[in-house]
Amino acid sequence: MSDNRQHQTIYEALGGTAGIRRVVEAFYPKVQEHPLLGPLFPEDITPVMDKQELFLTQFFGGPPLYSDQYGHPMMRARHMPFPITPERADAWLGCMSLALDETVEDEALRRAVLERLKAPAYHFINS
């Protein structure tokens, strides 16, 4: 098992979909409370959490659960209705960093997750 770790996907290292769910459940309350992010999101955050669980499972190398249900992710396009500024991208990553601190023990893994999310976050900037 241990000599296999270098071949693990981030999905596996996080503990699969259950581990990703823990991150997502720590993340969205912070998003909702954030003054720059909260107003963009619906009051009922559960459907957003569910989609994010499916998407991050797929994004981090697990089964393509998001595409199975919703088709091609086209994530930048799906974010176009929302004004995403550089400040909001930083805030999103900041909330994610706090959520990872609470849910993922392995510091190198936390850094790897954040690093992988940085590119899409800045790519989604549209305002």
Tell me which residues touch ligand HEM (CB under 6 A): 37, 40-42, 48, 51-52, 55, 59, 70, 75, 78-79, 82, 84, 88-89, 92, 117, 120-121, 124
User: Of 52 and 103, which has the nearer Cβ to ligand HEM?
Assistant: 52
Q: What angle do CA 45, 47, 118 make, to 5 degrees?
A: 75
User: Of 18 and 71, which has the nearer Cβ to ligand HEM?
Assistant: 71
The C-alpha atoms of residue 36 and residue 71 are separated, in whole angstroms, by 29
The C-alpha atoms of residue 115 and residue 43 are separated, in whole angstroms, by 29
User: Of 13 and 124, which has the nearer Cβ to ligand HEM?
Assistant: 124
